[in-house]
Amino acid sequence: MKTGLFCNYDNHHQDYHRAIFEQVALVKEAESLGFEEAWVSEHHFSESNLSPSMLLLMAHLAGLTTDIQLGTAAVLLPFHNPIRVAEDIATLDHLCNGRLLFGVAKGGPFPQQNKHFATAMGESRARMLEAMALIQKLLYETDVSFNGQFYQCDRLTIYPKPLQRQIPVYVATGGDDGIEFAAKHSFALMGGPPFSLERLKNTLAKYRALNSSGSEKLVLARFFYVGKTYDEAVNEALPFIRKFSQKMKANSAEVMQKSSNGHKPFDRTNICFDEDYLIENSIIGDVVTCRDKIKRFQDELNLGTLALKPSALTLQKNLESLQRYNQEVRNYVQTTVASSR
């Protein structure tokens, strides 16, 4: 199992410049600790998460790092022209010197994104899948012609082509059509911090029924804080968890109110934003608690990468937490998992 850093560019202190460069400091620390991956999220119109221009941020990180792989978590394809995404991804792969990982998603539940990018929520998944099909052709083929429901091109070749022979692809999805698409192409899967273990197990079971290869590369993002004691860890993470819970509940209520296609309510077997649920399903606690939680996720899901989202409000506390993870959790978990196989 690889260890990754999940990067939301959190604006905890209402200081845009500070937020951006504190995230950079966390990525550089993760690389110095030997973390294998850093995953950058895409958010729009959010004062809390300053990563609307994800690929620009990743190009900046590419110039400041040398070894850590850099992943998109994820490009919200319905809000972008796939031809431009293909050009940007191929260019970024060169800037990363072949360290790029390409994660994609449909976006949501953030109704403002769909509204201002003029994309119906009911179309988001179909747009994501069609865009990805076109991007894959553009990245590796020449004279591409494509006539889809949403996107078209005629005898188009983009330049440059990627540095990697095949950029690894990850799909954040729980829908049957998304799982089928990922399995068909042997793309890996991604799971967000609020996704329940039951949901993830069901998703992987559906994938493995279609394709036995690829599911072992699952990237699981989880809120994270390892403290000296359990109470210390919860106290440090709770302000962030509480704010996230409130924001997501408000967004979800708006989605439910505006939904015209019978959007299912969020529940604890699927995805939930209650504070106690988030703490229980995160890697938050003392060293032993965090070890046990990680081992359970690994045993149940056979993780490829655990992407840790530091959840304290101060840079120093998050740096200490990453260091404690590296010293007291990481090697124990990897040794235990290896010996159980």
- What is the tens place of the pLDDT at every residue in 237-295? 999 999 999 988 888 777 766 655 545 555 666 778 889 999 999 999 999 999 999 99
Q: E strands of the chain, at which residues?
A: 2-7, 37-40, 69-76, 100-105, 144-147, 152-156, 169-172, 188-191, 219-226, 283-285, 305-310
CA distance 89 to 139: 8
147 DSSP β-pair partners: 152
pLDDT digits (tens, 9 = 90+) for 195-215: 889 999 999 999 999 998 888
Q: Is the pLDDT of residue 233 over 70?
A: yes
Q: Is the dihedral of CA 286, 312, 326, 74 positive or negative?
A: positive
Spatial distance between the Cα atoms of 155 and 165, rounded to a whole number of angstroms: 22
pLDDT exceeds 90 at position 319: yes
Of 59-68, 108-117, 158-167, 173-182, least confident by mean pLDDT is 108-117
Query: How many CB atoms are located within 10 Å of the residue 13 CB?
Result: 12
**Beta-ladder partners of 10:** 49
> What predicted TM-score, i.e. pTM, was given to this entire model?
0.94
Pairing assessment for the beta strands 283-285 and 219-226 based on DSSP bridges:
parallel
Domains and CATH numbers, the chain: 2-339 (3.20.20.30)
Nearest partner of 180 among 212, 149, 210, judged by Cα: 210
pLDDT at 250: 85
pLDDT confidence of 109, banded at 50, 70, 90? confident
User: CA-to-CA distance for 160 and 283, rounded, in angstroms?
Assistant: 40
Q: If you average pLDDT over each of 109-123, 156-170, 186-200, which comes out highest?
A: 156-170
Distance separating the N- and C-terminal Cα atoms of the chain: 12
What pLDDT was estimated at residue 270?
Answer: 72
> 21-30, 134-143, 224-233, 330-339 — which is least confidently predicted?
330-339
Q: Distance (Å, rounded) from C-alpha 200 to C-alpha 248?
A: 20
